[in-house]
Chain A
Amino acid sequence: MIVLQHLRYRYASAGSDWVLQGINLHIAAGEYVLICGPSGSGKSTLCRVFNGLIPHFYGGKLEGKVQIAGLDTCTLPISELFALVGFVTQHVEAQLFNSTVAEEIAFGLESLGLSPSEIDQRIEEVAALLELESLLPRNPRQLSGGEQQLVAIAAIIALRPRVIVLDEPYANLDARNIQRVRSILRQLNQNGTTIIICEHRLRHIVADASRIIVMHQGQIVSDGPPRVIVREDLTAFGIEPPPVVQVARDLALPFTPLQVQELIPAINGHQPPPSLLAAQTFAPPTPASQPLIQLDQVTYSIGPTPILRRVSLDIRAGECLALVGANGAGKTTLIKHFNGLYRPQSGRVIVVDRDTRKADVSQLARHVGLAFQNPDNQFFTTRVWNEIIVGAHMLHRYDERWIRELVRLFDLEPLLDRSPYRLSGGEKKRVAFAASLAAQASILVLDEPTAGQDWHFRQALAQQLHVLRQRGYAIIIVTHDLEFAARHATRWIVIADGEIVTTGQPWEVMANTTAMQRAKLEPTQWFQIAAACNWSEALK
């Protein structure tokens, strides 16, 4: 179906390096291929080669041969390839440009020149397949992140492409929506559609894939069936093996499981392996201290819709708190109360003895550093150094020694003179984290810090958070990445429908099945293994 021979590519910008270097690849019809590798390894670029976006849309220099179903993508325009290779890009919001979900799905079908009756029929079919019927008249921009992702996929599936390429489709989805998308992709694959998917976190997809391709520095460094590839040491390539594989390796099992159900029968009777114990002992309990943030019966609505309902909460120095919950549960609204961006409509929020209703956001920024998910929303200077210090200057809290310390902590020394716009996604995030602490805030709030980031970034961030906690900072992370939250947070706050459902140490919370189900969360794979084997030592 797909043939790449001696493929090399570099972008049009002056002085750019070869992003893809000598790729040779054959993908047969009906394969389910997972492409993984660290940030900047060329995964997203490769995705854009499959449907002719490279070279037709991006320009640049392409060498070698690219054939899809026998057609040369260099000579055929994208308009002839789009129905053959469907592509769902990483930023789903940009893909939704119509007024209703039905129009969104219809757009590509209209491009194909189908009759109105066939367009209607395909919309009905795809809506039934993805259970989107009730969303058809709605504006796609007003849907939740998970629903938007499904609409973007529906718009591509409706074209009935022979190949579907998805670039990190799970980065911003909660567990329930990940399962939904996975099940649809499996179904399409069983019906003969070739699936190619880029993803950092193997555990979400490894059991579905028939083949894994590992990329590093623009080259394919490993390629084969999942059970073979996951046994290799992939950490050098920014990939963490799934927990089931780590446990099997620790216990020297003679086979490689890809799912918890495969592993359990083989390990009953074994003692918990060191990798599993390490997975839940990193974050020690927090010593009791004065609360830095106190929420008392906070309620907040947008129009008639209640977003937060009577939320009460204390956050103390030295703890790392994870706010977890499904898409749309109210997590981001809650953190916007911590620095006064939102004021409670009833109840109160006290931040370091200040009532947020009586303090400006800029005053509260001296105490609370908040880094949102998209760092591009804040960069406006031409040097990383300036970007870090600008807030501290504004608040008259500039201290060069402290800034230098932050630069060391977030490993920004080599980047200080570069333009923030030219950094990678992970580097931008690190600059934003440092900038949010530059005014010597004692509370750090991070919104989805690990979304779309590789294992190297996650490991470094874990270490940085550990250092900050030891210095007495209170850290709050909002995340869908429960593996990260379970390992590095001291406490979880589980939110569903704007209410706190439960709170406690991560593994205690995951043991509370009722709360997890209400919050539409799925326990981590580590927890599932320990619980299934009744490893009480690990579950303590």
Chain B
Amino acid sequence: MMKRLDPRTKLALVIGYMIFITADPTEAWVLSSFGFIVLMIVATGKVKAYLQWLRIVATIALTWIIVTWWMFDLATAVIVGLRLTALLSAFFLFFQTTTPTELGNALVQSGLPYWFAFTLSASLQLVPVMSQTIQNIIAAQRSRGIPLEPGWAALRHYPALLVPLLVQSFRLADELAEAMEVRGFSRTKRTFRYQYRFHLTDWLAIVGEVLYIGIALSIRFNPLVGILVF
């Protein structure tokens, strides 16, 4: 279902969810929304990738939990960890079901300037490329005795990583710009292979989320509404 939604709808949903999480809802509402997100991930068949993602998220969440526990108390720390994991899971679902190009094209059709939307989508595309470049630089430097193994010791040798990374980034940007030019990037009046239109499912998804967030926050901040609802 997520794949069928318009990329703009998915972007609106994930931004709405981010507002919801930061607006301090009760744990029950966070848990139920988290459960729904996990169900959607299962439905899209990305469970394996999600588990790998969770391994990385767990490290970040654990750091937050420890810091919050130290500053406040354990209960607050667990709630913070839960909210962070739920929010990052929502972003996982978004990026698994929306390619950067889809997002960029949809934004252009919403009226954003093409150069802006393309810069956004190209930046997202370049994240894995830069990650690969970092790995290649680390491998090349370690191979000649510069210890860039993960850890504090590597900080002493940061120029061996940062200088080639900077140079490679500029070069990649130049080459990318050239490659885009030779395929007509600067030409005006482009068309789009996909025409994005809002369908009933898009409106239903947005209205559904607005209602969910509205009720959850009303209960949180005005218990009277909660009594009326239930």
Contacts and interface: CB of A to CB of B under 8 A. Distances in A.
Interface in A55-104: 57, 77-80, 82-83, 86-87, 89, 91, 93-95, 97-100, 103
Interface string B160-178: 1011100110011001111
A471 interface: no
A395 interface: yes
Q: Give the residue among B141, B176, B180, B183 with the most A Cβ atoms within 10 A.
A: B183
A435 B141 CA distance: 10
B145 to A, nearest CB: 4
Interface stretch (B33-41, B68-76, B78-86, B128-136): B128-136
Contact of A99 (B99, B143, B190): B99
A390 B193 contact: no
Contacts of A361: 142-143, 147, 149
Interface in A122-142: 141
A111 B164 contact: no
A435 B144 contact: yes
A89 B144 contact: no
A350 to B, nearest CB: 18
B186 A119 contact: no
B145 A79 contact: no
A436 interface: yes
B181 interface: yes
A51 B145 CA distance: 44
A98 B191 CA distance: 16
A51 B191 CA distance: 23
Interface residues of B, number: 52
Contacts, number: 170
Contacts of A95: 175, 179
B122 interface: yes
B102 interface: yes
A504 interface: no
Contact of B181 (A57, A156, A366, A379): A57
Interface in B93-151: 99-102, 122, 125-126, 128-129, 133, 136-137, 139-147, 149
A365 B167 CA distance: 25
Contact of B183 (A111, A341, A368, A436): A111
Contact of B137 (A103, A156, A377, A439): A377
Interface string A348-386: 000000000000111001101111101011111000000
A108 interface: yes
Secondary structure of the B side of the interface? helix
Interface residues of A, number: 67
Q: Give the residue among B101, B168, B177, B182 with the most A Cβ atoms within 10 A.
A: B182
Nearest to B189: A113
Given A361-B142, A394-B145, A112 B194 contact: no
A405 interface: no
B167 A421 contact: yes
A107 interface: yes
B55 interface: no
Task: State the 10 A-B residue pairs at the shortest beta-carbon distance, nearest first.
Answer: A111-B184, A94-B175, A99-B99, A391-B144, A380-B163, A108-B183, A79-B187, A370-B143, A365-B145, A391-B145
Interface of B: 99-102, 122, 125-126, 128-129, 133, 136-137, 139-147, 149, 159-160, 162-164, 167-168, 171-172, 175-195
Given A370-B143, A391-B145, 17 more contacts: A89-B179, A89-B182, A95-B175, A97-B125, A97-B180, A100-B99, A106-B193, A113-B187, A114-B191, A116-B191, A116-B194, A377-B139, A378-B141, A379-B167, A390-B146, A390-B160, A394-B145
